[in-house]
Amino acid sequence: MKLFEPVTINGLTLANRVVLPAMVTRLSGEDGFVNDDIRRRYLRFARGGPGLIVVEAMSVHGGKSGPLLRLSSDEFVPGHADLARRIHDISPSKVVPQIIHFLKIARSGWRQKVADLGPEDLSEIVAQHGAAAGRARAAGYDGVELHMAHAYTLSSFLSRLNRRPDDYGRSLENRMRLPVEVIRRVRAEVGADFPVGVRFDGEECIKDGYTVVDAREIALRMAREGVDWISVSAGGKFEDAIHKPGQPLYPYTGYSGDRCMPGAAYPDGANASLPEAIKRHLNAHGLFTPVVATGKIRTPELAEALLAEGRADLIGMARALLADPDWVRKVASGRSDHLVRCVYGNICKNLDENFRKVVCVLWPKGSLQAPASDDAVAPRWGETGAALRAEAAPSGVRVSWAEATDNEAVYGYEILRSVDGGSFEHVHSVKTTCWTDHAVAAGARYRYAVRAYDLAGNRTPTSNAADIELSAEAGADPGAAKAAGEAAS
């Protein structure tokens, strides 16, 4: 698979094409130091062996924020040096920090805007990025990623809504000016041989925001400035965020937030056209800066297809790796059927929004980290099998089954569904033994089955299948469904 072909970026060889994009954990304190929980989180990721780990955004300045890592002064370096060393000790994964500058926000809903910044502010932002990147190098990180996406300072400069009347606003060239100054200062600070990546939005996903038409040009400029990779996100803006009284604005609460972290309602690879168009544009101009695709890429098949079809150079997976940090290890060893699959319910996003420690809803209750197990014994159904049933319910189809058992612990149940005789697809995972499918339509035939999985991702055999056909009569109650259970497996 192309997914497991190494790639070298400015002298840095990644063992595979999987990138863990920066994902806030809220595990640090407000002091911004690397602590035990942070270390555990990233060492857990490292054990899974993604080609590149981007450690969550850490601030280049002293701006007040909720729990967030910092790289804003030298006192933070030892913690990062320790983290980088530990990761390198146990894993082939390369690791870089993402560095961020953000403006002020208040609980009133007020927020500082790019138009409020004076010339000294701009110089300071440039200098702060340079210094933080220097600290990243001093800490032994393998490179640094500059955060120019979402609602933060550099993204707000790139925004088509940046109407600053001076040389830093309005025209595309002016909007790129500060980001380019940052790139140049960072490069001057870290030297030519230290990998510097950028993450930015391929589309703002807000009214009058920029689209991939501008993003292509921005990427081209960054590539010409010698950036070593371009990681493409989308949305996540303040402009359409919903202000909750008494809370500071959280930039992932509007439509652009939906697009930034596409949930269950979105198709796989919802934003894949953005990196594709950017990569095509770079390549057409003779530039081959690696492009990272992100946004609900969860299956090995899609990840591989994006690479094989030349639509991306690297595959970013945040939530999929949160659900299963061993994704790479399992897929590389042909055990894709052992993956713990993210259900894109965005509980993690909700925890982040509320400044609570970010965990995965699939993990065992109370756990701050994904479980790790090398157990090879699969869970089993009891003597009467799974006894799966599917019944019409007022709001959809209710599926229920018997408990499975395991030598360690049953971790959850994967629900599989086929529509109108199609193949089984994973539609959800739960920890309980029942679930109601609300996404059903009259006139269709559904077949359900479940598999229990343990902490290592070993599965039971697929349960018996239960069929249900929903009447096509308009006005009919789903209760008119005809259900037929098959013999237990």
Output the smallest distance, CB 466 to a second copy, in A. 19
Q: Of 291-310, which residues contact a second copy (CB under 8 A)?
A: none
Which residue among 442, 480, 483, 488 contacts a second copy (CB under 8 A)?
Answer: 442
CA dist., res. 440 & res. 398, Å (int): 11
Question: Could you give the string, one character per residue 184-223, with x where binding to a second copy holds by CB under 8 A and - elsewhere?
Answer: x--------------------xxxxxxxxxx--x--xx--
CA dist., res. 3 & res. 313, Å (int): 9
> In the block, which residue shows the tokens 């391929």?
202
Q: What is the separation, in whole angstroms, between the first and last Cα of the chain?
A: 34
CA dist., res. 72 & res. 44, Å (int): 26
Assess 480 for contact with a second copy (CB under 8 A).
Answer: no
Which residue among 96, 149, 270, 342 contacts a second copy (CB under 8 A)?
Answer: 270
Which residue among 90, 192, 472, 484 contacts a second copy (CB under 8 A)?
Answer: 472
Output the smallest distance, CB 177 to a second copy, in A. 6
- CB nearer a second copy, residue 192 or residue 439: 439
- CB nearer a second copy, residue 42 or residue 238: 238
Output the smallest distance, CB 25 to a second copy, in A. 25
Q: Considering only the stretches 31-39, 148-156, 168-176, 318-326, report the one whose residues sit in contact with a second copy under the rule CB under 8 A.
A: 168-176
Q: 273: closest CA among 291, 252, 255? A: 291
Q: Considering only the stretches 2-10, 43-51, 256-264, 379-387, report the one whose residues sit in contact with a second copy under the rule CB under 8 A.
A: 256-264
Q: Do residues 199 and 147 lie in contact, with contact meaning Cβ atoms separated by under 8 Å?
A: yes
- Say how many C-beta atoms besides its own lie within 10 A of residue 421's C-beta: 7
Q: 3: closest CA among 316, 279, 226? A: 316
Q: Which amino acid is it at 308?
A: A
CA dist., res. 128 & res. 46, Å (int): 28
Q: Considering only the stretches 10-18, 193-201, 254-262, 322-330, report the one whose residues sit in contact with a second copy under the rule CB under 8 A.
A: 254-262
Q: Are strands 425-430 and 410-419 parallel, antiparallel or unpaired?
A: antiparallel
Distance of alpha carbon 209 from the chain centroid? 22
Q: Of 356-395, which residues contact a second copy (CB under 8 A)?
A: 395
Report, in this order, helix, strand and coil percent for the chain, each rounded to 5: 30, 20, 50
List of residues contacting a second copy (CB under 8 A): 160, 167, 170-173, 176-177, 180-181, 184, 205-214, 217, 220-221, 224, 240, 242, 253-258, 265-267, 270, 273, 277, 284-285, 395-396, 420, 422, 438-443, 470, 472, 474-475, 477-478
